[in-house]
Chain A
């Protein structure tokens, strides 16, 4: 499914459509955004080199990492940038974003330094110019990768960044575009804006949610360790027909790079069997114990097997004989119950007037059991 993202970016935009845009979103709980970005970048670039894509070149706008890192990265993936026929160009917004240095040492011919990061329209023009320089003018398309939108948002307002991205998307020469975002660096509205502007949102989440505020706990330590190697990768695609396609995968960090595997259903089983309704059908342990302790108002179910005396207003013949004895007992039980009632306020009085003396005490039978449907 990370494959489907790469395929969507590779295929690019149809005529008259906005270019597909991917937001890669991560957070401190699952910080693999940069690795996912590298993965998508190398996949897209290899497809461009192999000629599988209508896009003929790639412009990489690097804010958070040095261009030499990317050149190394591509070399390690087996892509020789020098001989790749000028298909990639890096716009370096890392070395001197605000134009403080007097001289810049040029790293290579594939890198251009950009020094006015505060001005989004100038950035836009540079990107388009570089792209045209790479693939020529006319109808030939190129793709764009933006290292980290966070750096852009540091210096420019949200609406100017949004304008840049939407203008890039609607430019006729742009085939596809993707960017990285660290969601916990911004207010929720900024994340919402970037999601609004993109056609695919890939978010990284930890596979186990940590309990809040208990980071010192040993249990959570194991979870943190687990989360530093693994995570969940969710993608929401906005399809052309207006439906949203949601997919999930597991992501593992390894020495060689990043691996995507289909989701194991360990988490899913717990939620599958219980019907999802708006109220809680499960009992916690305490609730179970309390339920067993509830005294039901049946006459034969008293405390400790003693029959529960229920005041019934009429004194039956049987009872009047035992009245005095009962009265004593009652006083005693009253005393007991008084001391109990302080701790157990829920015990109420049951006042039950018998219809006749012949009436049998309540039984445990459920009268509905007789029904034969």
Chain B
């Protein structure tokens, strides 16, 4: 579990007054930003606490796997649990139906224990992948700070979110499939964000915008590339001056390469998900825990707000696993023990990709 190393600068803002007046689900981040949780505690840790308010998150989908939906589900559920207003746009006919698949927070009783197996030997053990064990100490500290609202929840993907979270809220869903152009989406976003202006005072609540599969081919506007780019730029500007986070997922294979690059540059935080091939013997040999993985998550860019200092992560590729088939966890990739007799050396790890299908695995 890689944590971002944040360097404390000699200029530190006066944070003490701001901390007390934050609404539920918000916390102070570095450089005077306010963070909200992505709904996946591991992702929050990787990104240095969560998504900063006013940032645009973009997720590059893989056409072969629906993992971006997992990210969206957790993001939206987290917002609803914290009573944060939500705007959801999708190319499906009935976006409200998606709300029925949102996961509910895991009860704190059956908190998953991620430590090593209970039957440890008391004697000396050789920790093959020793970095796995460092994270255990941190887990205890980030526990519940205030009893009422946890900053981020574990979501149980098997249990649907209770109705009352969805019904009593400012939840706005609509379909973008039939809109001839992006003006409707633009208007909806403007109205939504006008409710969440950024003042210097306290932040009582923050909003979330989730746009799924933005350039899906069934949308009428999907071949209007410049219009889509202008929409993203205007959304980014609106979000920057409001207390909200917007997440847009899109399939990059359906865009021309130059536009794909432009969209990637628009993002403050850029993630991508990748599918895993079933029964890939090479990958099974290269990585431990291959059987439990359902996909890869790559972190390409981490938001840099109010600072020039880049966030350099220890690792940028993580495996997506479903623990106990319920909880979404992200793990660093661990190379499997190399078989000494075969004579291959550590030179095959790292940037060398053993098969072109996996692309670049960054340990």
Q: Which residues of A contact B (CB under 8 A)?
A: 157-159, 162-163, 165-167, 170, 189, 192-193, 195-197, 236, 238-239, 241-246, 275-278
Partner of A243, one of B276, B282, B348: B276
Do B223 and A196 have beta carbons less than 8 Å apart?
Answer: no
Query: How many residue pairs bridge A and B at CB < 8 Å?
Result: 83
Shortest beta-carbon distance from A120 to chain B in Å = 11
Do B275 and A242 have beta carbons less than 8 Å apart?
Answer: yes
Do A244 and B275 have beta carbons less than 8 Å apart?
Answer: yes
Which B56-71 residues have a C-beta within 8 angstroms of A? 63-67
B320-363 vs A, CB cutoff 8 Å, 1 = contact: the mask equals 00000000000000000000000010001001111100000000
**For B275, what are the chain A residues with a Cβ–Cβ distance below 8 Å?**
238, 242-244
Do A192 and B348 have beta carbons less than 8 Å apart?
Answer: no
Bound-state CA distance A277–B356 (Å) is 10
Q: Which residues of B contact A (CB under 8 A)?
A: 63-67, 91-93, 177, 216-220, 222-223, 251, 253-254, 256, 275-279, 282, 294-295, 344, 348, 351-355
Do A193 and B65 have beta carbons less than 8 Å apart?
Answer: no
| Residue from B177, B216, B217, B251 with most neighbouring chain A CB atoms (10 Å) | B217
**For A244, what are the chain B residues with a Cβ–Cβ distance below 8 Å?**
64-65, 275-278
Do A242 and B217 have beta carbons less than 8 Å apart?
Answer: no
**For B352, what are the chain A residues with a Cβ–Cβ distance below 8 Å?**
277-278
Bound-state CA distance A167–B92 (Å) is 9
Majority DSSP secondary structure for residues of B touching A: loop
**Known: A238-B64, A241-B294, A244-B276. Contact between A196 and B253, CB under 8 A?**
yes
The closest CB in chain B to the CB of A164 belongs to B218
Partner of B65, one of A162, A197, A243: A243
Between A and B, 19 residue pairs with Cβ closer than 8 Å are A157-B223, A159-B220, A170-B92, A170-B93, A189-B254, A192-B253, A196-B251, A196-B253, A236-B64, A242-B65, A242-B275, A243-B275, A243-B277, A244-B65, A244-B276, A244-B277, A275-B348, A276-B282, A277-B354
Bound-state CA distance A130–B67 (Å) is 36
**For A277, what are the chain B residues with a Cβ–Cβ distance below 8 Å?**
348, 352, 354
Bound-state CA distance A51–B167 (Å) is 43
Partner of A159, one of B219, B278, B344, B355: B219
Bound-state CA distance A43–B219 (Å) is 34
Do B279 and A242 have beta carbons less than 8 Å apart?
Answer: no
Bound-state CA distance A238–B65 (Å) is 7
**Known: A157-B223, A193-B217, A275-B348. Contact between A163 and B177, CB under 8 A?**
yes
Bound-state CA distance A170–B94 (Å) is 10
The closest CB in chain A to the CB of B353 belongs to A278
Bound-state CA distance A69–B222 (Å) is 37
**For A197, what are the chain B residues with a Cβ–Cβ distance below 8 Å?**
217-218
